[in-house]
Amino acid sequence: MPPSRRKFKLPHPEPTDALTYARFTGISTFMRLPHITQPEELDVALIGVPFDGGTTYRPGPRFGPRHVRAQSAIIRPWNPVLHVNPFAKHRTADFGDLPVNPLSIEDTFSRIERGIAPLLEVGVRCVCVGGDHSISLPILRAVAKKHGPVSLIQFDAHNDLWDEYFGSKYSHGTPFRRAFEEDLLKDGEVLQVGLRGQVYGEDDFDFAREHKVRMVTAEKFHKKGIAVVQSHLRAFRRKPVYVTLDIDAVDPAFAPGTGTPQVGGLTSVWAATSSKSRHPMTPEKLLRCLPPIFSSNCSASSKWPPSRANFACTTISLWLSGP
């Protein structure tokens, strides 16, 4: 991501210095960054989307952004593996929360789409922190309006391609099916990593096959390692990619706070720690070879947010080290 050439009125936003104000002090913001609500002042916006009206099992992710803010205070600015301070080079801030409607999923979707649009309009890179995974649909709608259909890399235990639940077309189990139907995604350019667990029947995968979704199950990942993921990446090169991390991609032993825990997942070593390294399976590898227009929006409740905070921070670092 090249440094911005735009002119700014506000001083360069920086996280509160933990050597002056201890990390447990102050008002919680993402990564202790200033709260800035003018899109034109930013390169990267960290945005809370505290909505869980799309959950079908354990609720709670409405508290996700608040808890990620608190937990992200532990992050320090310098990444010693990538040799970068992401906040020094790019104007990054806590944009605040989008104004969701806890009683209406449709109204929330239009609020999210309207909330994201002005950021995309001026070229801000957005890192959305959910919230349940249903919020990906309105975000993708806003993205597609600006950029056209995009590719998708999704870390998730579930493919979220179901048709409906209790008669509703909108839930955390359906966003990417709706996105295909609305031409927000492209056939053959969706990669899902970490899939596992039981489904209702073999035909649950029909839609994915129809749209040539690239599926890397957790089982395959554990058996064959990174090579199997890398083999898909060529299809995404030089294309705008929306990357999304559902925290249940990570095994509940490491991230128990998720709404639909599923055993046999990726480890926190991958999700949080190795993403800071030059290990070839990390998002670094993904993002260095790709120009992502968007990053992770995370579905989960509030009990284990450090991996999400870490992932978001790492993502920003990665943009800096990319082309």
Site residues (vs Mn ion, CB under 5 A)? 133, 156-158, 160, 246, 248
Residue closer to Mn ion by CB (options 113, 160) is 160
Q: What distance in Å separates the CA atoms of residue 196 and residue 214, rounded to the nearest whole number?
A: 14
What 8-state DSSP symbol labels residue 193? E
Residue closer to Mn ion by CB (options 50, 86) is 50
Residue closer to Mn ion by CB (options 133, 141) is 133
CB of 218: closest distance to Mn ion in angstroms?
11
CB of 247: closest distance to Mn ion in angstroms?
8
CB of 63: closest distance to Mn ion in angstroms?
18
Residue closer to Mn ion by CB (options 134, 274) is 134
CB of 258: closest distance to Mn ion in angstroms?
7
Beta-bridge partners for 195: 217
What would you report as the CA-atom Rg of the chain, rounded to the nearest whole angstrom? 18
Residue closer to Mn ion by CB (options 41, 248) is 248
Q: What distance in Å separates the CA atoms of residue 83 and residue 63, rounded to the nearest whole number?
A: 33
Q: Under a CB-based contact definition with an 8 Å cutoff, are residues 63 and 14 in contact?
A: no
CB of 246: closest distance to Mn ion in angstroms?
3
Residue closer to Mn ion by CB (options 31, 218) is 218
CB of 171: closest distance to Mn ion in angstroms?
10
Q: What distance in Å separates the CA atoms of residue 91 and residue 25, rounded to the nearest whole number?
A: 23
Coil, helix or strand at residue 19? coil
Q: Under a CB-based contact definition with an 8 Å cutoff, are residues 147 and 185 in contact?
A: no
Burial label, 24 (beta-carbon count in 10 A; 0-12, 13-18, 19+): exposed
Q: Under a CB-based contact definition with an 8 Å cutoff, are residues 201 and 111 in contact?
A: no
